[in-house]
Amino acid sequence: MSADVIRFAGVCKRYPMGETIVNALVDASFTIREGDFVSILGPSGSGKSTLMHLLGFLDSPTSGEILFEDRPIAEISPDQRARIRAEKIGFVFQAFNLLPRMDVFANTRLPLTYHPRPPADAAARIWNALELVDMKNRAHHRPGQLSGGQRQRVAIARALVNEPRILLADEPTGNLDSRTAATILDLFTELNRQGRTIVLVTHDPKIAAYSRRQIHVMDGRIIRDDA
């Protein structure tokens, strides 16, 4: 059995909305293990982004427990949590979120600049990440000179440059045409085949079909998990 990366135990997230309360996530329990390729599938408003924010500890649960590498994150200081997030979690977003004035190489380097001391092998790591996504030959282009699919490849390289424990992708193909989307999903499949742990959020069953396990959410509840 592979090591646990993230475990949710009875996790709830409630948002106050004036006089009422929105139950964005209700009693979610599941485990993401090393080497998993999991999609979180559900319609708009079902709680996917809420779940993703909790997975990246960008937000805290209202109740229940989240463990990262077997440690309850509620027991980790905010500073330490930010550091774990920076070093061990790679994020990929629908809108790519590249910095337009920096070239591909500098964008990919960004997560390394958050280290107290840049790693000695920084340049090698950047080239390696760019090679993984087949973007080495565009290292000195700026995002504006790239297609959408190429931009998302760079964003994936940036997410990988720290060699994170887990990659979290929220609707990563939402801004791409279906053919380009398929190439990005093939890339995730290949990265997972190489051993990377991936969680992919999507509303589209065709995209979820690329993953090896689907967690279906509806109205804040997990209604199916084929773990």
For ligand ADP, give the closer residue by CB, 45 or 148: 45
CB 64 within 8 A of CB 34: no
Q: Binding pattern to ligand ADP, positions 5-44, x when CB under 6 A?
A: ----------x-x----x-x-----------------x-x
Toward ligand ADP, which CB reaches closer, 42 or 64? 42
Is the Cβ–Cβ distance between 96 and 175 less than 8 Å?
yes
Kind and range of the H or E run holding 184: helix 178-193
CB 57 within 8 A of CB 73: yes
Nearest approach, Cβ of 203 to ligand ADP (angstroms)? 7
Classified as helix, coil or strand, 9 is strand
Using DSSP, state whether 201 is helix, strand or coil.
strand
Q: For the beta carbon of residue 107, count every other beta carbon within 10 angstroms.
A: 25
State residue 209 phi and psi, 5-degree precision.
-65, -20
Nearer to ligand ADP, 150 or 173 (CB): 173
Pick out residues in 12-71 that bind Mg ion (CB under 5 A).
48-49
42 binds, among Mg ion, ligand ADP, none (CB under 5 to 8 A by kind): ligand ADP
Query: Which string of x and - marks every residue 46-85 that binds ligand ADP (by CB under 6 A)?
Result: xxxxx-----------------------------------
Widest CA span in the chain = 55
CA dist., res. 66 & res. 175, Å (int): 31
In this complex, which beta carbon is closest to Mg ion, that of residue 146 or of residue 181?
A: 181
82 touches 89 (CB < 8 A): no
Return the one option of ligand ADP, Mg ion, none that residue 17 interacts with (CB less than 5 to 8 A, by type).
ligand ADP
Beta pairing class for 198-202 and 166-170: parallel
| Residue 180: CB minimum distance to ligand ADP, A | 22
Partner whose footprint covers residue 183, from ligand ADP, Mg ion, none (CB < 5 to 8 Å by kind): none
Rounded to an integer, what distance in angstroms lies between the CA atom of residue 123 and that of residue 133?
16
Binding mask 196-215 for Mg ion (x = CB under 5 A): --------------------
Tell me which residues touch Mg ion (CB under 5 A). 48-49
Contact residues: ligand ADP, CB under 6 A: 15, 17, 22, 24, 42, 44-50
